[in-house]
Structure 1
Amino acid sequence: MPTPAPTPDDFPAGDSRMAAEFRAFDWSTHVLGPTAGWPVVLRVAVNMMLASSFPQCMAWGPQRTLLYNDAYRPMLGNKPAPLGKPIDEVWAEVWPDIRPLLERAYAGEATFVEDLPLVVERHGRPEQAWFTFCYSPVRDERGQVLGMLDTALETTGKMLAEQRLTEAAASLERQVAERTADRNRLWQLSSDLMLVARLDGVVLAVNPAWTQLLGWREDETLGADVMQLVHDDDRQASLAQLQQLAQGHALHRFDNRMRHRDGSYRWISWTATPGDGALSAVGRDVTAEREQADALRRTEEMLRHSQKMEAVGQLTGGLAHDFNNLLQGITGSLQLMERLIDRGRHGELGRYITSARGAARRAATLTHRLLAFSRRQTLAPRPTDLNELVAGMEELIHRSLGPGIELQHAPAPGLWLTRVDADQLESALLNLCINARDAMPDGGRLQLTLANLQLADEAAALDLPAGDYVALSVTDTGTGMPPEVVARAFDPFFTTKPIGRGTGLGLSMVYGFARQSGGQVQIDSAPGQGTTVRILLPRSNASVAQPAPAVAASSTHAAGPKLDGQALVVEDNAEVRMLVVEALREQGLTVTAMEDGPRALGLLQTEQPFDLLVTDVGLPGGLNGRQLADAAVALRPRLRVLFITGYADNAALGAADLAAGMDVLVKPFTLEALLARVKGLLEGPTAGPPQGRARPLGGPRTQ
């Protein structure tokens, strides 16, 4: 809390630190008594002392009470609570030296002492110091001396400087002679190149190292242009440095290659300074260091490549294992279906169809987790209240945990909204809860905590920008993890569970999802101490987004009214294009198919009517799906758009939320999901208000 400003009636006056300490000091128990009863002369003297920028102190009364101003404080060092103590107690170590001066002042005599040497203790140890004192008596209106005012200047720095100057002056002549001799020896014996040249680079003097290091004799270099020895690739940069020297700037470190007499080159690191119309330079041979640095850099690149290949090997090994199992389930089921069809046993096909679809669904889950880990999954973020999200999942989490684990959760009052894909966050939270359950085989307690969090300086350590975040923490009382496991917890396919009990993608998926959402994940764990996993998500200042109306997923063979309208399907994969076209036609739509964006856009510029555009995001031909959709909606504002994507390239989809009349479906998808999205789009709002029929690109818009 700041110190309140003094009022005109406060004593002493002013807002200095010492004025505040005077006012805060309990004078009622002091020998001087409350300040209101102080003599006028003392009050005036204190106000004048505190207003002075010179170091001043006072000794008052028979007890010689010490009073001082802000400028005097540094002289006291760390002496404990000196204000109001007797001066002979505060300065006990030098009292025999200053007592005569103080007594003369109390006797009415002003004294001036210059550069008085004293050994003081103010930083926990004796130290030599010098002071200049001006002691003046302070008299009342009757002329009686009541105290003493001391204007004190510490001259320690000056005295030490004078001592050093005297010592330096005494040895200057000897030093000059020695250094001249040393310079001459250094010039002759140094293994570094030494050069004196004109500011245009013409050599005036070189030392013998030029012959030893570069092979050039002194008579071959004098009068020559030093730039003639510089490697062609380094000459332009070297000329620029020479121009800087000519303009008066020193050269602290510059490397170039200098030609040896045998035609080879050596790397030289130069330091140079201009003066008296010339430049002096020293060059050190750093060829070996450069070669070692290059070798080290190559070794580091090889190590990084090895580490990268090890990570790729771990990733591809895990992928191969899981996908081979899934592909075995799919291909095996298809082969058995072929045999059953050949034998006419159609009634037995159902279980193999179910098996193949289950394996395909698990493969889709695996790719989604990999995309989440690599931060390339398709997200549909919207402002979300995590209190509501967690409360809505409480029953599901409780069922997943089982009766032996107690679930604790309470809403956080005043919780900020966060911009996140709620479905993916629910999946991540359920994943963390199941991990926590597996870490508590004998039961325990799982706590879900929500909190607002403001990050400032600590944000950099979390690789996050400073700002507001919402923290969702999952804390268990399970077995915990040692540091080496925590360090690898986010690695893909890393798991401590027994074979067949986990893929090792759960935490890596949570990490990738959080990072892609602009947040972070932290793990705090120790063996036997349980684990806390905290997800940080950025705050959203928008209002809560209303969930899209649910659309029932119709079976591809369900009875009911057919869809009506014209659809354009743009997909470069022939198999996917065929499946989408056939599914839409089966539901009654008139479908046109294209393989790339430019030809599809050309068709959209014609008069042919279209109600729906179904497009892949990644398309050949230089026009991706989002660019095609934006151009299509500009031409046909009533057009609905469904993006289908297997790569989940968020950069192609754009950072902004999809507009009304647009939706996205991630491959692989079921035909039921495809038709549900199409039905929802055709029965929902358009991308924009009606603007008339389509117009050619670049032509006038019909109003």
Structure 2
Amino acid sequence: MTGSALFILEPGSNAEQSFILGGRVGRSTPDLDDIFPGDSAMAKLMRQHDWSATPLGCPSTWPDGLTIPLRMLLTSRFEMWLGWGEDLRFFYNDAYIPTLGIKHPSMLGRPFREVWAEVYDDVADQVAKVRAGEATWNDSLMLILERSGYPEETYHSFSYSPLYGAERAVEGLLCIVTEVTRPVISDRRLSTLRQLGTALVGVTSRDEVSLAVCAVLGANRRDFPFALLFLGDGSTRQAVACSADAAHLLNGPWPDDPPANGISFALPPDVDYPAGDWPARPREALSVPIPGAAGRPAAGFLILGLNPFRQRGENVADLANLLAGQISGALANVATLATERRRADRIWTNSRDLLVTVDAAGVFQSVSPSWTRILKHPIEAVVGRSFSDFIHPDDLEPAHQALRKAMSGSYLTGLENRFQTADGEVRHISWNTAMEDGLVYGYGRDVTEEKAKAAALANAEEALRHAQKMEAVGQLTGGIAHDFNNLLTGIIGSLDLVRRRIKPDWPSDVDRFLTVATSSAERAASLTQRLLAFARRQSLDPQPVQAHQLVVGMLDLIKKSIGELIVLRIETEEDLWNARCDPNQLESSVLNLAINSRDAMPDGGTLTIRTENVRVEPADLGRVALPAPGDYVLLQVEDTGHGMPAHVISKAFEPFFTTKPLGKGTGLGLSMIYGFAQQSGGTVLIESVEQQGTVVSLYIPRSREDARPIVPAGGDADRAEAIKHAATILIVEDEPAVRLLVTESLGALGYETLVASTGPDGLRILQSDQPIDLLLTDVGLPGLNGRQLADAARVTRPNLKVLFVTGYVHDSGLYEDGLEPGMAVVTKPFDIDKLAKRVAELIGQ
């Protein structure tokens, strides 16, 4: 509570002038009713008082600086007193009488120093400040007052304000006060109860109860200057002093069988009892029993020294009994916990699952007997050792991360890892954990059998769904490819007949258009062959193949296809088995996978082609989706590219599915490999981690026959064809007709093409991450000519091949700096054969 003035003086008012100046304000001599107005007890007492016998003299001579605040004091219901004169003669109102106690009414008109002699020294400095014209404020100040015939602990919130007399000199003091003794003491005691309740939460032993009680009672040494706690009885009794200065009191004697509500008793005066926060030692103490469980004797008792300045008649036993009740509840919880511990011990001993405790370093502090039954290790060989000694090496780092998480207080649920048994077997354990007192408590269930069954079922279901889907798509695409082949046979045959029957007088364009039509038909035929490969309806020539020798024979072709930014590594196993498959299809698959890896590493990386022997056990069939267990040759193509997310992997083998930009892929490469592997009796799998790379694993059945000699991959013509299919050409031409002709012609030859109609559009493509092997550009482009485009492109692509197309041999800007290596020119007009030759020459350099 706070004190405050209860009156307002308007600035410049007569009342203010009177209050400050203390002079007469043009009125007649006041009578006593004017000076001491009202019918209050103090007003009557002041009118009857002989003021002439005091230094203040007759009230009629008193200045306004005294009478005005005096009238306010007598008419206020707030506790107020004022002092006037050199020794601050004491005036007070009816509200202040309880604070004075037995000093009323004798202290009326007495000096302030005499009225409150016992606390004057505590406020003397504030009185000095008021005399200097400075107001003061105190919030809940403790004062030991002797208002009831004995020193008593009291608390007051009050302000001292100066009262001015003539010539603005401070001649008095006004105090507005509120006594807050009861709320301050009540709050302190409630705080003690709250603190003890909080401290006792979660205690697990009698020692922890003692520590909690002593911590709280040792902090409140105003209500109880000293406290002793006795728990148990007889030989098991535990005695604790709640402060070091009370330890010598433990040996008593004390009343150890107090009544239910406690008993207070006098303390011998010749013993040095701790005074706590008081200047005097306690004269009394209280013995309070700590209730036991229902129907059982007391669990102990408290000896509490009592405040020597407490108010007489105050029932401190209520507080003591509440404290004892909290202690009793905590002891009951401890007893219940002990019972639960015994029950937990039985569970620990008989549990069929793993129960363990682990410290922050991962060292087992205890393990249940079930460890020996499940993992075969004797308990004594486990306790004191780290879990690192028993866990599977691949699960070690995740296990350490999980331990750190568990030690931070997080609950782990369903954490799975693999533990090695004493006989070398691996068991899958699913853990749930909780952390307490610096230890992780773990409950582990052996889920090895359940996990194997679930994995087998999931793999079987997934394999069935995938097989059904791929079979359905295969039937559809196979049927479409078959029908298209029939159509294409008629188309290609008809075109050939037309070419054979061309007459000399026909326009020369007829042969060119026939060539374009034939080329398109042949590309369509190639597409249908890929569809048939996916549908597993292509004609294969299976034979024994030495896969490593086949890869070595393709090295030159692979290196030209992947470019200089990619490091190529070849790994193989000694005594590699022969595989049984169509070598041409295997060669095509390896090249296709290498090109895919190249596209996944636009900034370079490492491409590894690996061959090894693999024996697939029946238990592995669900994982690798092979038709039968046995011996297989595994060919893996691994890159360090951008990887694939799971949803892309799930669709990667579907025909026409591609993640490449429009015009950069047909989406048939992986589907063709899938069909080839399935038709050969093997399978193909993809494993990928985004931003880390991809591994494609091709399983081919083992052949026990000798392999035929490997012929280099396809000869020069086939190599040129492979290079064409591996090359990407950017065509920049502003003339639509020329642009269409060049694009269609190069596309018909098997090149991947990108198209732009202006120099700036072409530069944007060149500044992207798009792989480009050749820039074919017109020289006379709007905005940015062909030479400028080529020079800008070589800033970021220094090895880019460039073929300029121009209508003039000396086109503007083309030869100003000379043609650099890797640049060539073709002039208009040109035929497709000439263009194709120059393109092939540049790309083949």
Normalising by structure 2, we get a TM-score of: 0.27
Higher relative contact order (CA 8 A, sep 6+): 1
Higher alpha-carbon Rg = 2
Normalising by structure 1, we get a TM-score of: 0.32
